[in-house]
A and B are shown apart, each in its own frame.
Chain A
Amino acid sequence: MFSEEIKKYNWDEAHEAIYAKTSRDVEHALSKKKCNLDDLMALLSPAAEAYLEQFATKSHNLTIQRFGKTMQLFAPIYLSNECLNVCTYCGFSFGNKIPRKTLSETEMKTEFEFLKAGKFEHVLLVTGEDAIHANPHYISNSITIARKYFADVSVEVQPLGEAEYSMFKDSGCDAVLVYQETYNPEVYKTYHLKGKKANYANRLDTPDRIGKAGITKIGLGVLLGLSDWRTDAFFLALHLNYLEKTYWQTRYSISFPRLRPAEGVEKVDHPVSDKQFVQLLCALRIFDHEVEMSLSTREPEYMRNNLISIGVTSMSAGSKTNPGGYSASPETLEQFEISDDRTPEQILDLIEKQGYEAVWKNWDKALTAH
């Protein structure tokens, strides 16, 4: 389990090592065909900021070689905003007095039909953490229904056990996303005050349980803004590296949403600048040539326009982050504010203008049929 592996490392030591890297270390890392974790520290270091254009060029070339000039598109579908966790940065946090909603079967079908009428074939089902409303059976049933509409169904829900993930797999789930938010256990506590999400260790070992259940793809991520991004990115890579070796048949995607204003969030403790965001993205691509990288509509338009050619491999478009947001009038509160509210057609146009092919379908349920 990763909770054992991570004991070999210490947050403060890793932090110190990253900040001690020099331009010589960065140049050494850039000259290598394949970077190890020590090289990654150099790529993430302040010393690397002067090499941004070289980073972007290398990341661009590596991404094209692996993924071609393609951009995969997906849509998140929020099934429920009920949540028993108290997380200080999240619009769904238990204490927030917002209208709560869990979609019924009929309502979710309406959402599915709306997105299906567009071109979406890859969807991400999202819920808060609530044992009553969005319980594992509800999620499993939602996967089964979504499967009838879409070629690829991913979920982003509360951490569960191997048995629940096996059930999801049998229902046709292709990927499970669970972001650690931050790998700093002390900082983690200060943001996740109550509810099951307060259990750092349980969350940390969740990808192991997903891997053991044989789910095709696991999504990892950190929420940028909670702690030092350089150190968090290093631990994210460590986690990825461990999982790739342990569950070697699994595909991986990573994502690093930047914290945005939401209900109750006024300031971000560790803001990440645009330049730093690009450094992070490129450093991880140079470290891992094969990992999929996903970009959400949390990023503003000008960033999404320019990141297409730098290393991202999938994007959401026209996203709604409230249950029923696509088909019904949006009366429930959203999880976070969308920074890029362009329609899927506008995003498609943008991708094509940059000489990339928008890929709507890149999976088929036949591939994992039982």
Chain B
Amino acid sequence: MKAQDELKIGDKIFSSRLFTGTGKFGSLSLMKESLLASGSQLVTVALKRVDVKKKDENILNFLSDSLFNLLPNTSGVRNAKEAIFAANVAREALVTNWLKLEIHPDPRYLMPDPIETLAAATELVKQGFIVLPYIHADPVLCKRLEDVGVAAVMPLGSPIGSNKGLKTIDFLEIIIEQSTVPVIVDAGIGMPSHAAQAMEMGADAVLVNTAIATAGNPVMMAQAFKEAVDAGRKAFLSGLPQSRTHAEASSPLTAFLNA
């Protein structure tokens, strides 16, 4: 990928647009191997899985490779107050001010709470966090979050872990069109073709976990997602010149005006 195509979020620059989760793998070594195959440079880690006191077999040991930037998430909290507390614990434990803000009070479908998320994002940005909120594909909420200073938005394609693909496609299109911060399509991406579709639409990145972790061969699937994201991105970029040239094209209908 060209250097100018790098993705900048907050203070970091990414050449890979595939972000990954770290849950659901059959072993930590398989997780690491898969993440390496994915080429991912930003990996989410649930605070609840991290045990900073026990060094052996700790998930962090497997992610210590400098290739991976850690994105702690607040999975498990149910409101803004708990999220803010957990964020501060995560910042200390993982030594990063990056945060995937997840507030899903509904433990079955893990639907994000827009009211609590906006409240928490407002406060966490003030506290110096680089906030990436997980939200519904709600265009207005995205703008409201932008207003309070989040670094990116992470709208869902369909419920977490559902592998159903981009069920929210019409709203994702609006979000991508309107957003001034990077849009990362998160949740529900079940196949490489879903990831490619999101990238073709102009998403800045995608986040994938279940589809890789629970695949028959997670390493090969990680590779497949890497290639799909690259392909989707290339397709999107190659589409751009087309739309730019459109305005400059020769104008057979109005050429007579310049004659």
User: What residues make up the interface of A, taking CB atoms closer than 8 Å to B?
Assistant: 64-70, 119, 121, 151, 244, 248-251, 290, 352, 355-357, 359-364, 366-369
- Contacts A/B (CB < 8 Å), 26 sampled: A64-B214, A66-B161, A68-B23, A68-B24, A68-B25, A68-B214, A69-B24, A69-B25, A69-B26, A69-B213, A69-B214, A244-B108, A249-B107, A355-B27, A357-B28, A363-B48, A364-B48, A364-B50, A364-B86, A364-B89, A366-B47, A366-B90, A367-B47, A368-B82, A369-B82, A369-B86
| Assembled-state Cα–Cα distance A64/B23 (Å) | 11
Contact call B27/A357, Cβ cutoff below 8 A: yes
Contact call A362/B48, Cβ cutoff below 8 A: yes
- Shortest beta-carbon distance from A18 to chain B in Å: 25
Contact call A366/B85, Cβ cutoff below 8 A: yes
Contact call B107/A290, Cβ cutoff below 8 A: yes
Among residues of B, the one whose C-beta sits closest to the C-beta of A369 is B85
| Leading 8 A-B pairs by shortest Cβ distance | A68-B24, A69-B26, A366-B89, A367-B76, A251-B107, A249-B105, A355-B26, A290-B108
By a CB distance below 8 angstroms, the chain A residues around B214 are 64-65, 68-69
- Shortest beta-carbon distance from B259 to chain A in Å: 63
List B residues 62-88 near A (Cβ within 8 Å).
74, 76-78, 82, 85-86
By a CB distance below 8 angstroms, the chain B residues around A251 are 107
- Is B210 in the interface zone, CB < 8 Å from A? yes
Contact call B48/A65, Cβ cutoff below 8 A: no
By a CB distance below 8 angstroms, the chain A residues around B109 are 290
By a CB distance below 8 angstroms, the chain B residues around A119 are 54
Among residues of B, the one whose C-beta sits closest to the C-beta of A67 is B24
| Assembled-state Cα–Cα distance A65/B213 (Å) | 9
By a CB distance below 8 angstroms, the chain A residues around B210 are 65, 68
Candidates B49, B82, B105, B108; contact of A359 at CB < 8 Å:
B49
User: What residues make up the interface of B, taking CB atoms closer than 8 Å to A?
Assistant: 23-28, 47-51, 54, 74, 76-78, 82, 85-86, 89-90, 105-109, 161, 163, 210, 213-214
Among residues of B, the one whose C-beta sits closest to the C-beta of A66 is B161
- Shortest beta-carbon distance from A193 to chain B in Å: 37
| Assembled-state Cα–Cα distance A64/B85 (Å) | 31
Assuming A249-B105, A366-B89, A367-B77, is B27 touching A361 (CB within 8 A)? no
Contact call A362/B78, Cβ cutoff below 8 A: no
By a CB distance below 8 angstroms, the chain B residues around A65 are 161, 163, 210, 214
Assuming A248-B106, A368-B82, is B48 touching A361 (CB within 8 A)? yes
By a CB distance below 8 angstroms, the chain A residues around B76 are 363-364, 367-368
- Shortest beta-carbon distance from B31 to chain A in Å: 8
Assuming A366-B47, A367-B76, is B28 touching A249 (CB within 8 A)? no
| Assembled-state Cα–Cα distance A137/B82 (Å) | 26
| Assembled-state Cα–Cα distance A69/B34 (Å) | 14
- Shortest beta-carbon distance from A21 to chain B in Å: 26
Assuming A65-B163, A367-B77, A369-B82, is B47 touching A70 (CB within 8 A)? no
- Shortest beta-carbon distance from B165 to chain A in Å: 14
Contact call B85/A364, Cβ cutoff below 8 A: no
